[in-house]
Amino acid sequence: MTAINEKQTAKNWHSMNGEEVLNHFETDIDKGLTNDEANERINKFGKNVLPAGKKRGAFIRFISQFHNVLIYVLLAAAVITALMDHWIDTWVILAVVMINSIIGYIQEGKAEKALDSIRNMLSLEAIVVRNGQNETINAEELVPGDIVLLKSGDKIPADIRLIESKDLRVEESPLTGESTSVEKSIEAVDEKAIIGDRLSMAFSGTVITYGKATGVVIATGAATELGKINEMMSNVEAITTPLLQQIEKFGKWLSFAILGLTGLFFAFGYFFRDYSIDELFLAAIGIVVASIPEGLPAIMTITLAIGVQRMASRKAIIRRLPSVETLGAVNVICSDKTGTLTRNEMTAKVIVTADKDYTVEGTGYEPKGDILHNEKPVNLKEEKALWQLLQTIRVCNNAQVRHSDEGEWELVGAPTEGALVTLSYKAGLKDFKPERIDSIPFESDHKYLATLNKVDDKRMVFMTGAPERVMDMCHKQLSENGEQDIDIAYWEKKMEEIASKGQRMLGAAFCVTHNDRNELLKEELEKRKIFLGLIGIIDPPRAEVVEAIKECKEAGVDVIMITGDHVITASAIGKELGISDGLKAISGKELEEMSDEKLREIVNDYNIYARTTPEHKLRLVTALQANGKLCAMTGDGVNDAPALKKANIGIAMGIKGTEVTKDASEMVLADDNFATIVNAIEEGRTVYDNIRKALLFILPTNGAEALVLMAAIILGIVMPITPAQILWVNMVTAITLALAISVEPMEENVMKLPPRKKGTPILGKMFIWRITFVSFLIGGLTMLVFKILYANGLDVSASRTIAVNTLVAGQLFYLFNCRRIKQPSIGKGFFKNKVSFIAAGALVLLQMFFVYVPFMNRFFDTAPIELHYWLYPLSAGIIVFFIVELEKYIFSKISK
């Protein structure tokens, strides 16, 4: 036993002959291990399970959501407002903090399911030879040296060296990304062969599609290839988004700046002006409150959430909110080939019955693939409703799929019916052809196809069509427990779920009719049918991908194809899609021999990588990031999960993608369409622009308020605005005007510009200039209005009221400047964002409330003002708008 008493080691089992492997593990093909040997080895190597890894507790995960500079600034604002007895503002700020933290906590919890999903891929049982007898054991009890018997349909329970094999084919796409099942043999292969070429091996988590075999277990648990992926995912650290990095830097800078300025002006007032300590303390609090943009995190969250909604409407589902804007900075997309870039045809992907949701394997019109429930093949005849549905779509169909002269599967008939007939062929119903007596063909006015057939000694009506139309003609639904009243709410919910994946839907129904019925008439189709379920179908892209890749190039985004397929196939598809010239490609074997330094040198020169393993994908992403690239990675198989997690943006396929890849990703494509990524990049750039516009809009409010208070301290005059009034201005402008910025549509030519460079500050020189300029402009006008009115004998409450409205009016007109950062604001598209005008109207009403409602006067120390005093704020607002437009014009001329 000395040879195997050591820790499981990665030997080149694939290049050793079967007898050598058996000798190494001291086992016999006919007798297997004894129970004693198996027990000894399980104590030595452990159970055949993947390690769970360390998880942070729920409380620690929740507390960690508060570890953010902006959250600290917000909490400081909450403390300050509490000290000032403005409890409403305190609770509002704390509510924003809690909502942000709860969202982050929930999303992080979902992400931690990724490792659990991989563990669930392991086989539950295995047939082994123990003590010379065949036994069925729990797969967890397998040990190196066990002899395992495999047959078609089995999920392979451990990594196995094949000893005997008959017509064995294995579906390895979850591990290698290869699109077709692999024919296995028992012959040793080259020592340097990559996983996809190790034909003498069968790997844990893959599925046997045909044939049978006997093999010896060479690795279990964490030592399997699947276990290595699990370990890679455990070791890959999530990368923070560029926006979060920039906001964190900005938050730190802002915090120090606020504290420094406040201390400076406190000292100036104490030593050079005749203020009391109480007055100075109140002024200092006012400066801090004025300077903190407490509405910013909420506006950022709202802007990101609106971006998520826009992307969802374009079939891109964002799982982690900050990832929205990262898409705008992406400058390279690494895409898996299978199911993402390749040509596809109308395909049934989902079946929903009254009891279960099923997924369907296979793509296009080739009738090959299993019907799965919970990722496991089902025994179709035991699934009552499913089996009846499959029979219905086979019979109620006028299409055919057949081999063309070129050997490809082709459709004769309507694409929708082609998807259904292919599905029925997958269920083994190709020869199920009961006599058709009559039919009603599908037409757009009635939206269904119905047939009358003789099945055994019964006559039956079958129907497929638009789900709503078919359900209208049903009074019952079929479940595993028999017929029951139709549950419309359930089906509507399921229809929404299917529609959210970008899939079209068909419904199916049937009924047994009287034996002397010989014809079908539309007016006689009574509402007595039994609803069977829904079928979701899609037509995955091909032509759109070519156009999408062209758009990527125009937007400065490189596309790299990383696939498990052969170099020749990958190169041909790469050339067809416009990714490469078809001449330059690198194989996994070549990658294996490259150092990390050499890979960094060549990674920018090649766009096609073939016969890759999970480790290669991870290395490629790491090399691109080391070269300063912001990388998006698409994938659908388990093999893609570590690279998805490592990438700046992991993109999973919503239809074909496994739960593992979805859980490891930041974005899920509901339609598995590469072109959707381009749409998402477009939206990501728009979201980033809108966040910058929000900063450009919000910060001058804080700057103007702080400048007014600082000017008052320098001049030694009464404060033109109070801390409570400052909070009012910040609150109403954030919930109205800043919200309007967050829904601003994208600017023209957003996809004609290159991605922003890594490390580009969120506030460039131009932004800092604009914020400073507008802060002085609005602050100066506010101070000027207050000084004129107060000097002319208007009481302090009324003067402050007009000063506050001057500040608000400046912000209101400045909103329209911010809608276009460099271009003139008045022009094409000025009225496109209707929310901005609604927000302006809401702000005017709130200010009327602020000025004329008695309890608001008492609470905020304001006073009702006569109508002519509104000319001051109005004039100030108009001045702000035209001066900023003039500044834009001058800068555009200088830049040209």
Residues taking part in catalysis: 336
What phi, psi does 668 have (nearest 5°)?
A: -120, 130
DSSP code of 736?
Answer: I
The 3-class secondary structure across 54-86, one letter per residue, is CCCCHHHHHHHCCCCHHHHHHHHHHHHHHHCCC
- Which candidate, 213, 508, 207, places its Cα nearest to that of 370? 207
CB 238 within 8 A of CB 104: no
Helix ranges, 819-870 (H): 834-852, 854-860
Q: Report d(CA 663, CA 640) in Å as an integer.
A: 11
Give the burial class of 726: count Cβ atoms within 10 A of its Cβ; 0-12 exposed, 13-18 middle, 19 or more buried: buried
Q: Per DSSP, what are the bridge partners of residue 183? A: 169
Q: Per DSSP, what are the bridge partners of residue 511? A: 461
Give the burial class of 536: count Cβ atoms within 10 A of its Cβ; 0-12 exposed, 13-18 middle, 19 or more buried: buried
Give the burial class of 870: count Cβ atoms within 10 A of its Cβ; 0-12 exposed, 13-18 middle, 19 or more buried: middle
Alpha carbon separation from 854 to 712, 794, 859 (Å, rounded): 28, 19, 9
CB 330 within 8 A of CB 625: no
Alpha-carbon dihedral 848, 854, 859, 863, rounded to 10 degrees:
70
Q: Report d(CA 232, CA 619) in Å as an integer.
A: 11
Residue 540 structure tokens: 């995955």
CB 825 within 8 A of CB 885: yes
Q: Report d(CA 566, CA 138) in Å as an integer.
A: 36
Alpha carbon separation from 462 to 238, 450, 554, 785 (Å, rounded): 52, 6, 51, 80
Amino acid found at 98: M
CB 639 within 8 A of CB 564: yes
Q: Report d(CA 292, CA 314) in Å as an integer.
A: 36
What phi, psi does 887 have (nearest 5°)?
A: -60, -40
642 alpha carbon, distance to own chain's centre: 16
Q: Report d(CA 441, CA 417) in Å as an integer.
A: 12
By residue count, the chain amounts to 896
CB 647 within 8 A of CB 624: no
DSSP labels, 268-324? HHHHHS---HHHHHHHHHHHHHHH--TTHHHHHHHHHHHHHHHHHHTTEEESSTTHH
Q: Report d(CA 86, CA 729) in Å as an integer.
A: 14
